[in-house]
Amino acid sequence: MSVAAPTAQKHETSKILSALASTERPEPPGPISTSFTFGWRALLKIKHVPEQLVDVTIFPIMFTLLFTFLFGGALAGSTVEYVQFLLPGILVQGVIMITMYTGTTLRTDIEKGVFDRFRSLPIWRPSALVGMLLGDAARFTISALVTITLGLILGWRPQGGPVGVALGVLLLLVFAFSLGWVWTFLSLVLRTSNAIMGVSMLVITPLTFGSNIFVDPSTMPGWLQAFVEVNPVSHLVTAVRALMGGTDPGNGIVLTLVSSAALVAVFGSLTMWRYRDPR
């Protein structure tokens, strides 16, 4: 038996080597394939930790109800009138505010050592980050659907119809995807999730509240109007409001796309530089 065992083992090893030698090596996965794989990973994390959906469901409902009934009577005379103006803006605010969780989630993965494993894989380097942002786009879409549904219940009637609403949401998702690169960069620079959340709130708060989401900028003092006019969130809100309202968006779409491209070009490059050299 002592002789037969090594012989059988050698025979099995020979069969395995023969099978490996006769099979062509598979082609490495492409950038699109690996990006969608990591995007699916992000969605699976939601499946196993459904508590992640709290921020994309409860927050939009809370913000919409709070600001509609807080400002509706004072600013427009009725909540139904005010929600026609507010809904596209509060939709933008709700999605932008949850983009910060992109950075905190990535920071958690880094602290667990997950991204050290990703760096060792023979794949397109940015795919782990791009896939994560694509997965977050699903969360943003859920937030948008929740806000739109609540708006319709409250009496919002978009004159742009389903097409205008869909185009508005699509433009919002493009900007949110681009803004996510800011938080991915911060997650590679800052050391804790709490630090990322604190810095992101310092950025998001003036961008959202110092915009045309809640009121017409013409009622603001001159120095604040100047900020609102160059605020990329204002351009986004103007474009989304026009698309959903069936009016001319002017240069709002172009300015939003330019801002989105600039965010990806600057912070996407910084993120990949830091990702390749984490020291």
- Tell me: the pLDDT tens digits for 45-104? 777 777 777 778 888 899 899 989 988 888 878 888 999 999 999 999 999 988 888 888
In this structure, the dihedral spanned by the alpha carbons of residues 213, 219, 225 and 231, taken in order and rounded to 10 degrees, is 10
Reported as half-sphere exposure (CB side, CA atoms, 13 A), residue 226 has a value of 3
| pLDDT computed for residue 243 by the predictor | 96
Across 178-194, average pLDDT: 90
Does residue 146 have a pLDDT over 90?
Answer: yes
241-255: per-residue pLDDT in tens?
A: 999 999 998 899 999
Q: Which residue has the higher pLDDT, 164 or 133?
A: 164
The backbone torsions φ and ψ at residue 46, rounded to the nearest 5 degrees and listed phi first, read -65, -40
Q: Which residue has the higher pLDDT, 230 or 19?
A: 230
154: its two tokens: 């409250």
Percentage of the chain with pLDDT > 90?
45
Q: Which residue has the higher pLDDT, 105 or 198?
A: 198
| pLDDT computed for residue 259 by the predictor | 96
Across 200-221, average pLDDT: 91
**CA angle 43–44–45, rounded 5-degree value:** 90
Number of CB atoms found within 10 A of residue 169's CB: 22
Mean pLDDT of the chain: 86
Separation CA 40–CA 52 (nearest Å): 15
Does residue 268 have a pLDDT over 60?
Answer: yes
213: its two tokens: 């989401």
Across 179-188, average pLDDT: 91
| pLDDT computed for residue 22 by the predictor | 56
The 3 state secondary structure assigned to the chain is CCCHHHHHHHHHHHHHHHHHHCCCCCCCCCHHHHHHHHHHHHHHHHHHCHHHHHHHHHHHHHHHHHHHHHHHHHHHCCHHHHHHHHHHHHHHHHHHHHCHHHHHHHHHHHHCCHHHHHHCCCCCCCHHHHHHHHHHHHHHHHHHHHHHHHHHHHCCCCCCHHHHHHHHHHHHHHHHHHHHHHHHHHHHHCCCHHHHHHHHHHHHHHHHHCCCCCCCHHHCCHHHHHHHHHCHHHHHHHHHHHHHHCCCCCCHHHHHHHHHHHHHHHHHHHHHHHHHCCC
